[in-house]
Structure 1
Amino acid sequence: MPIQLPINQLIPQPTYVPVVEDLIACLKSGLKDNLHSVYIYGSVANGNAIPNVSNLDVVLVTQRPLEAGQKSLFNSINWRFQKDFPFVKGLAVRTALVSEVASLAALFTWGFLLKQCCTNVYGEDLAECFGHYVPSWEIAKQWNMDIEQSAAILRREVALAEDAQSQLSAQRQLAKKLLRAAYGLVLHRTKRWLDDPLESGRAFLDYYPERQQTIERLGILLGQRVIPKRSVVGLLDDFAPWLEKEYQKTEFKIG
């Protein structure tokens, strides 16, 4: 197993170092020998997390499927975070088995996520199983061809938001998804990895300048101001079907 760097050398923002350390301690205690490795991605991994707004995004890899009691561990960790680290908006966990990740079928899904987007903070780094990734249409469509299903989920989260904070979180997630999906349409042209949603939107406009107003409005959703639900849903209902059609057109051209 490769030597694991100390957490404070992996997390750019010192405020989040104890958060990740506590997460690992809880997972080790709760999962024991079922725990294989832990990765973080998103704003905390990139060093641009916003206190009281950003989630801690985690990929958890286990040796065996999680049991019922082990699944409840995530609720316990969320509760701990609310008490000890209230500036962390929430814990968002993706789970996978070692056998699922370290396989050829996972090349453009788990392989891409771990290699390009994640920081390994505990255990064997499965990203080492995969070689260098070249920005391609294959990767873009793997992550964004489900835009119709994703839009339905995002729409529901906005509609069900009961307070300003939950609505702000929902509209930000919606904006991130749509901006990154938009950039996926041109990834094979730019051949650059971009994580920042706003930068992704600007790069998309180089090829689709007619959608400038949409991208500007999505940028507003990423801010700290709660936007009326009707406006958020209207933007989603306009842009998501357009994205879906563009992905289908591009798939037909490229294959």
Structure 2
Amino acid sequence: MNKPVSLPVIDPAEPFQEAYQDVVRELIQYLKGGLGDNLHSLYLFGSVARKTAIPEQSNLDIVVITRRPISDKANSVISTIKWRFKRTYPFITDLSFQFGLAHEVMDLSSIFTWGFMLKHCCVCLYGDDLSTRFGEFEPSWEIAKHWNMDVDEWLTIYRRKIAEARTGEEQVKAQQVIAKKLLRASYSLIMHKDKQWIEDPTACGQQFLCYHPDKEIDIQRLGILLSGRLVAKRSVIGVLDDYGQWLVKAYKKTEFKIG
């Protein structure tokens, strides 16, 4: 069995990809101006933070930490930013915002959610970097369950989105999101045994098969959904109902064993 390793931290000194540098600079200025002294700190996570983003395929994922709950006026500012950036930078597929309050982020109960996310998934863009308040994390069931015990909720949401998709483009986007979630959740199910940290969804699926080789066909099907290939709705829903529900039960079973 592999020895536990500390999870990797994204190098904050490594510059963002050239295509995203102006986007990030402008985003910081807009959020500082729109939120004023309520803005505690600002972070990027996802592929732009990791410097692996692909124009016209990758979202811009932002974490905004405030001192107080944001006002209706601030919500309007966020909506305006989304509209402006989609028009100005069409190669960004979407802007995703997550909000948190500084005192809640630092609460002990948030260590495996906010603590893990800021420490190992984000890069601080502005303000007091709260990731420095947390020590390094090791692959564990605690991290896996805090990030994936909601897989049943994701299945319900994306099953409906796929069933109700009006265009092939809309369906493919939903397929890719849920396939990525299921592949990463599959690896997280065995992460506490494997003692590694893997982010690439395809690699997650392959490593998972080392422990569950009987699920090879299911992982192959998820790979097809992730690839962007349009698949018949009934086939996609079949994967979610079959493998997705197996995964939900496997999480509950593991939680019962480990706690």
Superposed CA offset, 1:21-74 (max 9, x none): 121111111101111111111111122222212111111111110111211222
| Structure 1 residues 162 and 26: CA distance shift in structure 2, 3 A | farther
Structure 1: segments with no counterpart, 5+ residues? 1-6
> 1:196 corresponds to which residue?
200
CA distance, structure 1, for counterparts of residue 155 and residue 93 of structure 2 = 22
Match in the other structure for 2:61: 57
The alpha-carbon deviation at position 225 of structure 1 amounts to: 2.5
Matched with 2:146 is: 142
Normalised by the size of structure 2, how large is the TM-score?
Answer: 0.91
Please report how far the alpha carbon of residue 10 of structure 1 lies from its aligned counterpart in structure 2 after TM superposition. Answer: 4.3
- Is the CA contact 1:11–1:44 (under 8 Å) kept in the aligned structure 2? no
Gap change, CA 1:26 and 1:226, over 3 Å in 2: farther
Paired residue type of 1:193: W
Q: Which residue of 2 aligns with 1:153?
A: 157
Structure 2 match to 1:3: none
Instruction: Extract unaligned runs of 5+ from structure 2.
Output: 1-11
In structure 2, distance between residues paired with 1:126 and 1:74: 22
Q: 2:30 aligns with which of 20, 26, 30?
A: 26
1:82 is the counterpart of 2:82: no
Q: Distance in 2 between matches of 1:190 and 1:15?
A: 36
SS in 1 for 2:187: helix
Deviations 1:232-251 (A, max 9, x none): 22211112210111111111
SS state of the match for residue 49, structure 1? Answer: coil
CA distance in 1, matches of 2:14, 2:27: 14
Check whether the contact 2:46–2:61 (CA below 8 A) recurs between aligned residues.
yes
CA contact (8 A) 2:43 2:63 kept: yes
Q: Secondary structure of the residue that 1:198 maps to in structure 2? A: helix
Which gives a bigger RCO, structure 1 or 2 (Cα 8 Å, sep 6+)? Answer: 2
Instruction: Give the drift of 1:156.
Output: 2.4
Which residue of the partner structure matches residue 4 of structure 2?
A: none
Q: Is the 8 A contact 1:10 1:119 kept in 2?
A: no
Aligned to 1:101: 105
Number of residue pairs the alignment of both structures matches: 248
Look up the match of 2:237.
233
